[in-house]
Structure 1
Amino acid sequence: MAHPSERLHDRSDPNLSAIIRERRQLTNLAYRLLGSLADAEDVVQETYARWYAMSPRQQEDIDAPGGWLTTVASRICLDLLRSARVRRERYVGEWIPEPLPDRAEWISGQSNGDADPADRVTLDESVSMAFLVVLDAMTPAERVAFILHDVFGYPFADVAAIVGRTPGACRQLAASARRRIRVPQPDAGAGASGRRSDLVRAFKRAWEATDIEALIGLLGPDATATGDGGGLVTAALHPVEGAEQVARFFVDRPTAAAGVTLQECTVNGQPGLVALRDGSTVSVMAFDVRDDRINHIWAVLNPDKLRSWVAKA
């Protein structure tokens, strides 16, 4: 079955090229709203299908096709977020947003020849794992209002048309979302990225050496580790809390015993680790680093969320 964007190119209207260029924006928006690349791609597919279903005259009557596509995609996301709350009640264990690999690795790892860089998600602070986890705690309306206005810069009048509330109500939703955020920003300034990488590298080495004292020294006193197996693979059903408890948790699961090797990588734009067994990705770990300590570790083991992580040679 042809992708909607491919079928759109069959039309002779030259303005449709502008419609296709909206795909990256829509994918970026939908991923931030849903925390799932698979769901985001489904949303974009459905959005283009609805555009394609209209007659040429109906399309011509739309003054701002890009705005129309954004509105449709956002409304689909809003419906999905509302239904997700029900689905999450049946989810086994903790739910963590789908991790994204580094852009260069993602594109170079494609083997089917149809990778389109324009479809990929821009990796910045608004897709860090810490940020996405907080977004997931918001109500659907808060999340949509906040992402559209604060991240993508849409005026509240436009947000209101999407959410189905007044501009004033949407302004309040965004303000409420900002109060929820309060995510301590990762260490910034000269050398901060290098320090984060150094910490993750040191964590990898200490874990491989099962050096519990070294692990404790790298973790903040209130460090937390959260795993997501989705009921498909074994993972802790509840977060592990406290530096010593987190360190013991990892020491009790030595990588060598499971035939797992660790590689440094980039996860949602931040230093992370990928665990490999027989060349296949079995886990991706994202880290929240503050005050030169690791304060949170998110380990995604659910294979349904690792499809963007291609097998390693």
Structure 2
Amino acid sequence: MRTPPSEDGDLPAYAAELGIPGFFDVHVHFMHPRVMAKVWAYFDGAGALPAGLWPVKYRGTDDERIDHLRAMGVRRFTSLSYAHKPGMAGFLNDWTRDFAERTPDTLWSGTFFPEPEAATYVPEIVEAGVQVFKVHLQVGDFAADDPLLEPVWGTLAESGSPVVIHAGSGPAPGTHTGPDGVARVLARHPGLRLVIAHLGMPEIAEFMDLADGYAHVMLDTTMAFVDFWDRPNDPAIVDRLPGLQDRILFGTDFPNIPYAYAHQVEVLQRLDLGDSWMRDVLWNNGARVFMTGDEIVE
């Protein structure tokens, strides 16, 4: 078993030893500064979380955080933002498009909300080249199968655009979280390329079942297995990970995490699932799904 990286400075050497060009992180947040400030205020205790429970480790300017990602060997990353009310998605999508244009190693990341206008602006940005979408059912307080999203899911199933969807009921359940609404959407649009954020915690088994049943359903590792939760890994979940080797994508939630970035890689290495599994999860699967033209390492 390889020595797990314990500090961010260990990551470039770890990637080199594993034989991958770097890390492909599909769950990174860059947002308009006013929006990011509100997110950080929530984690600082302005929302439902107690003050001090979730200290955001990576603050600073966009440029400082980009530099840190690059220094760690993160070669590709998303810039996920998500709408939590009507009329917000267009503003967020314009900002992330501008961010992607000035940051060549990021993916242009869009969002949408259940509103009549989504049937127009989602096809428009798909046509313009958006590379990934993000929706958050708990923060947005909407159902995956909201009728206003039906034309959106149809567009995305046809285009093959990946969607990172926070649908699990962790860290706090929402009115519409859980696998049921997602399952109903997939029954109507089986070709959707959904990336279930956080492995779908805590309903990991149920979301893995959806991945078993639908060829284009994937899961990201964001905050899965980390020591922050102070609970042991479920052996039944770990045992299913090798069978989903081509469907697990590396994600971290940077910068909004309360521990070192390297810890997410460390805990995946601790699972001891082998170099091939780690290469696929940390790099190859992201490069394949997002078709960035980067080298695939066998």
TM bucket (normalised to shorter chain) is: under 0.3
Higher helix proportion (structure 1 or 2):
1
Higher strand proportion (structure 1 or 2):
1
- After TM superposition, the score normalised by the length of structure 2 is 0.26
Greater relative contact order, per chain length (Cα 8 Å cut-off, separation 6+)? 2
- After TM superposition, the score normalised by the length of structure 1 is 0.25
User: Which one has the largest radius of gyration?
Assistant: 1
